[in-house]
Structure 1
Amino acid sequence: MTATIPQPLSGAQSLQPLLSLVSADLADAEAVMSRMTSSSVSLIPELAGYLISNGGKRIRMALSLGCAKLMNYRGRRHLSLAAAIEFIHTATLLHDDVVDHSDLRRNKPAAHTIWGNEAAIAVGDFLLSRAFEMLVEDGSIEILQTVSRASGVISTGEVVQLAAQRQIRTSEAEYFEIIGAKTAALFEASCAVIGFLPGGSEAIAADLGRFGQAIGIAFQLTDDALDYASTATRMGKNPGDDFREGKVTLPVILAFARGSRADRLFWEEAMQGLKASDADLAHALHLLTETDAIQDTLERANRYIEDAKEILSYFGDGAAKEALISAADFAVSRGN
């Protein structure tokens, strides 16, 4: 049985308008990334180049560059800021894949399966150091504080998630604390830093940050739903990874709360790793569908996207605004 994936509430469903709008800036930002990963230690550019060439849709970079267009920023600082954010994101993925024992990343073998755990972690640390080197060179204390704070929040979120792993009685509040830290914090920072560039203000940075945060939460809600209701081709990772790793995500929290005593016993055993077969995953999907847990998770994601688009209403109309609206819708339409 497959779950029904709801459509976004309104608007387009593509990241392409934003990618087209910022294509030149995106190429320049990627050139910055390539330059900053050059090293006499061959493993660093080799592993980093593998990650950059398989960089996915670069949604955080695109949002940064799109926000610069929204502000009519004419300089070049946004390029290194976008690259720094992407380095931080890539480093967290390297570390997460080692911790989670994930074999796939964007439909390609995860870096640690090729170069080993030690190399993946070390290059992740290298990327983090390069990111903060660029932020220091930028010279804005507000930007440095914003990204430093986000990095601390992300690290804390990782610890909270590890503590909550396999804990079936994780509350919705605890879950949203985790995704607000692990995912939304970097989305927030990727947009907020642009507000501190010339032409911006603290108020604009705050608005852009809230826009990014809403997209980040919606993005993670969608990921957590699609882990059960999508395929490896669409998701770039093995479906059911969260189930087998005992990650108590919102669909599981909702299904557990709404289920019978037998259903709750199943979830308790599954999250403890006692039920991890393909048949168990199929039964989990049945329970998630029966309790509307996937549907409700995606509908919540849609509500966050509506909040994000409402924030954009404060800005003037134009191609950048429309592209960002389309990108917001894309965050919840990836499974369609």
Structure 2
Amino acid sequence: MADRFAELGFAAERVQAADPRCGQHLFLSKPGTGHVALLLVGHLDTVYSDDELERHGFRWREDGDRIFGPGTVDIKGGNAMIWLVLTALREAEPDFFEAVHWQVHFNAAEELLGADFAETSRKRLPAATRAALVFEFGTAAGREWKILTGRKGRVRLRIRVEGRSAHAGHPELGASAVRQIAELVPKIEALTDPVRGLTANVGVIRGGEATNVVPHHAEAELEIRARDNVDLDGAMVEIQALGGKGTVSTSAGDFTCRVHVELVDRIDAWNSANPASQPLLEVWRKAGHLLGLQIDGYERGGLSDGNFLAAAGIPTLDGLGPDGGNLHSAQRDDEAGHEPEFVRIDTFAEKALLNALAMRSLG
């Protein structure tokens, strides 16, 4: 991919991701003659394992105005969109193209949301960086298109429970760590509040070694998502307060389970009311008006590199890639009418034109 951008004058730098399984981040840059710098962001990874792709026979397939395949909309289509927009600007607006200090950064581990890419990316940005533009997929319904101006934040927590083992024939002598975890789950998930956009989900539970043993150890992994950091941190504090002495004891009361709550990671919410993003949205709205498009902002529950960039105070927009659907899905079920991941071919040209017109206004 770096070779295609080299044709546009971009130099490439590769930096090993913190997770060695993920390969190298790719940082492309092209100095300009002017004072404006723009950052365009994509990523290189997707979520599918080789086994999953083989099991479902999921591979590149064109059908009408759709291309099916792993990562077609998340985010190969967005990466292609970056190249398409830059190529169009070089041909149609050469003075602008040469004036801008361009940075194009591709995360090798976006699906894992490690913080190392954001830190490495920010170190390479000129002080005059006007905007961070993230090319995750956008949505298009007729002439009404939506661009992301916010994403939920996320906290991941791990809960470990120490119980007391006993023979299953004498359970009164033990204190089940699995039962303790089970009692915590409804308390955690009761924090979910759809009106506030707050969700708490216990996604993984492990515990026990054999059916004839009262389990002495169990653990759970969970996450909280919220639209703003106040709700995010409030829910985190409530869950952390569950740590300490549990509620499951031996019958004699001489031992009670101990609960340990550990913070795994925390990613700030990118609030859609972020004042730094609203002027950018207006630029895209004006460009859309020229094309007969209605452009609206919205937020998603999923996270992206936009969370990190917005948290750093950089004006950020997301969802600038083409439209598509069923991302992270390899399964095709004709009876149920379910299709795997796809990108819509018919949204490339007009979305590229929209992005090019809007970006031209930033210079």
Q: What range describes the TM-score normalised by the shorter chain of this pair?
A: under 0.3
TM-score, normalised to structure 2, is: 0.25
When Rg is computed on C-alpha atoms for both structures, the one with the higher figure is: 2
Larger proportion of helix = 1
More strand as a share of residues:
2
